Structure 1
Amino acid sequence: MKVIKYVFFIILFSYSYGYSQTNKITIQVNNAIKNISPLMTGACIEDVNHEIYGGIYSQMIFGESFQEIPMHIDAAVNPEFAGLSGWLSCKAPRDQHKDESEIRSWQPVKTGTATGSFSIDSIQPYIGKQSQNIRFIGGAGTIGIENRGLNRQGLSLSGKQPYEGTICAKTNNPVQVYISLQSEDGSVTYAETAVIITDAAWAKYNFTLTPTRSAVHARLAITLHQKGKVSLSYVFMQPGSWERFKDLPVRKDVVDGLLKENITVLRYGGSMTLANNYRWKNMIGAREKRPPYKGIWYPFSSNGWGIIDFLDLCDATGITGIPDFSTGETPQDMANFVDYVNGNNNTHWGRKRITDGHKQPYHLKYIELGNEQFNNQKLTDKFKLLADAIWSRDPSIQIIFCFSDNTREDVSGDLAYIKQTIDHCQKTGHQAWFDVHIFNDTEKQPDLKDFEFAETQLKSVAPDSSFRLCVFEENAANARMKRALAHANAINRLQRIKYDVPIVCAANGMQVDHQNDNDWDQGLLFFNPKYVWGQPSYYVSKMIAENYLPQVVESDFASKSDTLDITSCRSADGKTVTIQVVNSKSTAINTDVQLNYYDGTATKVTVTELKANSLEDWNTVDEPNKIVPVKSEISNSNNGCNYTFAPYSFTILRFEQ
């Protein structure tokens, strides 16, 4: 029996050893195929699924300017509102997920026997189309309104830390308004202050609240405690500088998450730029005076955080920023914008930037125009006018024009107009760059037909012209492991294809947990009012960015049955080599790795591996570290090693001297 077992073991060992030889990665380190851009691990952010308003923007109040649809206060429906009547701005229907309840902001609040009424003022609002009136009629107790943040998920408070805020209000007779931080049911008050409203015209009043203890699901209440009436137009509250990144109006924990991801470029914009009133001049100046607008993703959008705030964030973090603009901007406004961001004190708008607190120019390098619009003659002519206005103020700015969906799939009647754009750029001494969007939802290799089709078609009509293609939206409908593998596949393929891709951004860079309003449930960095955590795709970007090397080298994968997606890179001197490997199969793949013409002296190989048990796995607030990269080391013998690539994994092997 022992002899039989021994023979069986030899056969099994031989089979296993033979199997390992059927899979082999061979890297020709001396054969550099192309240089690759460091800006291929970027992200697109826009106010979709509340990335901004309710997300990274430090404003904790949702429904800040009372523009939402008024709700009739009916004690028959809500007995807790007995003694209250009228209308309160508070609800917004969902455009996409209509089967879910509408988004809510403000709700009435009362204590004791107090009675009161609420009404909407659409005659003399401070900003937007309406403001909110609150009236204490009689009885004993309090009446007012309370806010729990986006979708009433609750305000997260840190005890003994200051929160600063502003209300814009008016009254015909002086009235004392109480502003407080309370528990979700109002039974506990963590902090309270009183503001005396005296002016019959709209005025701004500042307040500070320091809660006595921490809370996860708190609310902000604005109440009257005696007879009187107050009109409110704007409410703002944010953490003090202790919880904001470099004192900017952004959440420090979210920005820290972006920095840990090693994001190299951020594009701000997308479909949100198609809103009629999305204009950069509405995004500057005092936040309480910035007009709200009907957004593409949220009908009651805020300009409290806009393009200039985005550039401030990029400036403070060192991330390359690319703002996307509406093609509804005028040429003059775009010329003014360039003066504002890149001009000196010799220009009116350069001086305005200095007055606004940013002494040095932003040195902006990139501007995008439009988003997925059909390139007809009208739009093409507008592109030319806007581009000329931008270049008249700073000819060094690279402009990127966004392809329409039609161009990616069918260029009938579209391509000739794009050629006009290419020709115009060439005549003015510039290179035309275009933004192509791809869909990348499953673990399979991404479908780059749109990208490749656009490149082929442009070359057919402009064979003698120089143009570049970028990807500013690598889209998906999920944030699970299957998307992470597709994301790794996309970067792998875009790095090694012959065409030189200067910029790649995954969409969307961020997402508020449980805030999928429109099916783009694809955020890389998730967060709620208290916690921030990365999804598997987040770690793919982080791994590739941390291991960036400037040149792609020839890779060969020999296998009889298994498939891996492989891209190999090297340092300029050839002494550091990385191998980026995607295994989208449900089985492990044992592989020999060999580096030919490698001049380094690495004795160990650093392995960074991201893997999951299922393609549907992802990171939740309860298990934020379920899928994270794990580092290890293996031996390098004669410029080679053997490694088993786990099922559903993305792995980077790094040979380094």
Structure 2
Amino acid sequence: MSVKRVWPVLCLVLLFITDLASGQGSASLGAQKIKIPGAKPISKDLFGVFFEDLSYAADGGMYAELIQNRSFEYSASDRKNWNPLTAWEYTTEGYGYGTISVETAKPLHPNNPHYVQLNIDDAGQQGVGITNAGYDGISIIAGQKYDFSIYVRQISANPVDMQVQLRGDKGAVYGTFSFQTQAGPWKKYTGTITATANADSASLTVLARQRSVLAIDEVSLFPHNTFKNEPNGLRADLAQAVANLQPKFLRFPGGCLVHGDGINNIYRWKNTIGPVERRVQQRNIWNYHQSTGLGFYEYFRFCEDIGAKPLPVVAAGVSCQNSGGTWRIGGTGQKGIPLTEMKSYIQDVLDLIEYANGPVTSVWGSKRATAGHPKPFNLQYVGIGNEDKQTNDFRDRFKMIYDAVRAKHPEITIVGTVGPSPAGEDYDLGWKFADQLSVPVVDEHFYEKPEWFLKNNNRYDSYRRPKSKVYIGEYASWGNTLVNALSEAAFMTSLERNGDIVQMASYAPLLANLKHTSWNPNLIYFNNKTLAPTVNYYVQQLFSANQGDVYIPNAISFNQPGARADSTLAASCVQNSKTGDIILKIVNAGPHTATASANLAGLGIATTKATIEVLQGQPSDKNTIDNPKNIVPSHAEISVAQLGSYAVPPYSLSVIRISLKGN
């Protein structure tokens, strides 16, 4: 295509955009009216993120607490060899001696029943106490401050001198804090420790310096610099990596975590708010422990901090069909909350909406205000259920919750569920049920090979438009190589093309601790010290940061025989009506250079250049914790005229942004 032909169409797109957001397929310039066939609005909430406490994503991950088992609530129900002293050791040095025991007689709070009692017969030269190893060690940085707190109930009469130490591998002390306890009821003591050295696997030791009897609970150590300096906050680098995705929404707290491993393990949001020492902890379905320190208040605050709409998900009154490990035999371990208890459970869901949006004069709005946030969180979405087996137990309970929420809160958009796969019995039954109830949005999940994503680019082109909209709550190709990421990118162009029916989409899972990974692939891998965004991460970031709200059809074509049948090629063109920018995304997941023509003509405009970001490499390339920037987008400028015949590199994603503001 010649440059002369490119310019007219380009200007048509750039100048005649005013009416595109209306979805009427037309644009205007003054009194002139130009039809752009097929132009349609795209959901403004299209690309977001999904957070689940999986692979130590919360405790030992984004939740910034550095002490593992800080309140002595681990047990064999979490993991067979765990107990209330897991991650702790009794510390006696300098000829000190005494005894240690785990007690429950006079706890800090009934929801936090276990605590440690130290009976120190002789403090010796250095003291007697306890040492915590953190999550595979505590990573500290010289010069950084760490906020320490502890609850102590001094049982003996005389004041007790205490010292807290950050220690290295060989016992070297890298920072201290001293305080004195007094006899009486439980009291919280706080202080700040400044690290004097770098260490990847430090520990925290709490020592008593006199003969005494002490009860100890809720031992805590936080980096002083949490994300946005929030109290009880998040690990800054991980939270910032999520923020850098510029997600339009955040789904939380799970996945399978939500409906849990049996009825008694269903996630109850009310257990996760209020002072952390009063929250109810529980076993994690992924075979570890939830401190619930990262609870619903913190999730809502995080959404607010990163500008993402909150999408809390509650169980649909049934447990996970894989409860009790029945996934090994094909399920089903799904059990329903007794119908006699459903009224109370439904009230919990209604109370969640009040907690998020209610005035400070309401019961649950006042609890939000007490936590420090009198302003409502402006909740718009609530998910009910997570890829549930489509049984009568599920349908009966879902409908009870659905009807109650819709009746009391018609302003809330309810997100339903149609099972764990993109096809099959649960999928078909789930859609049939959603159609019967007119569920506004339905959550689909799929984890598939890269080929599936490439061959299903047209999945939503003729999809249920008169009925429910779609939320693709969990999707990923099986891997973190460039080919995996590009197959997802090709599929995401189809989500933009069908952004009138696909309301939202989120890659899953989001975070994984490299030493405790229970699912692959993931978007971001991390250890105690650093993190590694995957190539898939950069695809998600490029799409989310360059999201539009209007889709412009037929703007890009591939000039080669058989291009339409070549599933490795995909493209989309969108416009961001807020900035006016036109954004092209071009994917080549194949081994050969392709030629793409931007079918944009013009009538003479000021803009002659555009920005271009290219993610390119070899198909097996990936980012690792040792080489986290092996594959990252490159940034450059490109002439708009070049888009008439753009050479698309093999194994690449190109994102081209044309600003209406000129050069």
Q: Same fold (TM over 0.5)?
A: yes
CA apart distance, 1:378:
2.4
- Quick check: 1:181–1:221 contact (8 Å CA) kept in 2? yes
Instruction: Note if 1:56 corresponds to 2:62.
Output: yes
Equivalence for 1:191: 176
- Quick check: 1:280–1:307 contact (8 Å CA) kept in 2? yes
- Report how many residues are paired: 584
Q: Distance in 1 between matches of 2:129 and 2:451?
A: 51
Change (3 A) 1:419 1:595: closer
Equivalence for 2:215: 231
- Helix, strand or coil: the match of 1:640? helix
Change (3 A) 1:116 1:486: farther
Aligned with 2:114 (options 104, 107, 130): 130
- Helix, strand or coil: the match of 2:614? strand
- Quick check: 1:245–1:251 contact (8 Å CA) kept in 2? no
- Quick check: 2:585–2:655 contact (8 Å CA) kept in 1? yes
Aligned with 1:403 (options 408, 418, 440): 418
Equivalence for 2:24: none
Equivalence for 1:584: 589
Instruction: Note if 1:547 corresponds to 2:546.
Output: yes
CA apart distance, 1:572:
7.1
- Quick check: 2:51–2:510 contact (8 Å CA) kept in 1? yes
Question: Residue type matched to 2:99 in 1?
Answer: S
- Helix, strand or coil: the match of 1:569? strand
- Quick check: 1:157–1:218 contact (8 Å CA) kept in 2? no
Q: Distance in 2 between matches of 1:255 and 1:49?
A: 16
Aligned with 1:623 (options 627, 634, 638): 627
Deviates further, 540-549 or 600-609: 600-609
Equivalence for 2:441: 433
* CA shift digits 1:20-50 (9 cap, x unpaired): xxxxxx9996444533223232111111112
Mind listing any 5+ residue stretches in structure 1 that lack a counterpart? 1-16, 18-25, 71-88, 96-102
Change (3 A) 1:449 1:629: closer
- Quick check: 1:527–1:533 contact (8 Å CA) kept in 2? yes
Q: Distance in 2 between matches of 1:441 and 1:61?
A: 39
- Quick check: 1:438–1:447 contact (8 Å CA) kept in 2? no
CA apart distance, 1:420:
4.7
CA apart distance, 1:129:
5.5
- Helix, strand or coil: the match of 2:60? helix
Q: Where do 1:394-473 residues align within 5 Å?
A: 394-405=409-420, 408-411=422-425, 419-424=432-437, 426=438, 431-442=439-450, 445=453, 448=456, 466-473=467-474
Deviates further, 379-388 or 524-533: 524-533
Change (3 A) 1:415 1:94: farther
CA apart distance, 1:527:
3.5
Deviates further, 624-633 or 530-539: 530-539
Q: Where do 1:126-525 residues align within 5 Å?
A: 126=108, 127-128=111-112, 130-138=114-122, 139-150=124-135, 152-159=136-143, 161-174=144-157, 175-196=160-181, 198-199=183-184, 201-240=185-224, 242-248=225-231, 249-268=233-252, 269-275=254-260, 276-328=265-317, 330-405=345-420, 408-411=422-425, 419-424=432-437, 426=438, 431-442=439-450, 445=453, 448=456, 466-497=467-498, 500-512=501-513, 514-522=514-522, 524-525=523-524
Change (3 A) 1:40 1:148: farther
CA apart distance, 1:476:
4.7
Q: Indicate the percent of aligned positions where both proteins have the same amino acid.
A: 24
Q: Distance in 2 between matches of 1:502 and 1:54?
A: 32
CA apart distance, 1:182:
2.0
Question: Residue type matched to 2:482 in 1?
Answer: M
Change (3 A) 1:479 1:203: farther
Q: Distance in 2 between matches of 1:129 and 1:351?
A: 27
Aligned with 2:102 (options 114, 120, 123): 120
Q: Distance in 2 between matches of 1:206 and 1:281?
A: 27
Equivalence for 1:6: none
- Helix, strand or coil: the match of 1:544? helix
* CA shift digits 1:601-638 (9 cap, x unpaired): 443343211122342x3223332222110012333438
Q: Distance in 1 between matches of 2:146 and 2:580?
A: 52
Aligned with 1:571 (options 572, 575, 593): 575
CA apart distance, 1:535:
1.8
Q: Distance in 2 between matches of 1:421 and 1:530?
A: 45
Change (3 A) 1:415 1:610: closer
CA apart distance, 1:600:
6.8
CA apart distance, 1:365:
0.4
- Quick check: 2:54–2:286 contact (8 Å CA) kept in 1? yes
TM-score (norm 1): 0.80
Q: Distance in 2 between matches of 1:309 and 1:33?
A: 39
Equivalence for 2:529: 530
Q: Distance in 1 between matches of 2:458 and 2:132?
A: 45
* CA shift digits 1:130-187 (9 cap, x unpaired): 333334344544333222322x23232341x432232223343154432222223322
Question: Residue type matched to 1:537 in 2?
Answer: N
- Quick check: 1:577–1:656 contact (8 Å CA) kept in 2? yes
Change (3 A) 1:487 1:205: same
Mind listing any 5+ residue stretches in structure 2 that lack a counterpart? 2-8, 14-35, 318-343
- Quick check: 1:380–1:418 contact (8 Å CA) kept in 2? no
CA RMSD of aligned residues (A): 3.4
Change (3 A) 1:578 1:356: closer
- Quick check: 1:575–1:598 contact (8 Å CA) kept in 2? no
Deviates further, 308-317 or 252-261: 252-261
Instruction: Note if 1:38 corresponds to 2:53.
Output: no
* CA shift digits 1:340-369 (9 cap, x unpaired): 211113422222222222111111000111
Question: Residue type matched to 2:162 in 1?
Answer: V
- Helix, strand or coil: the match of 2:288? coil
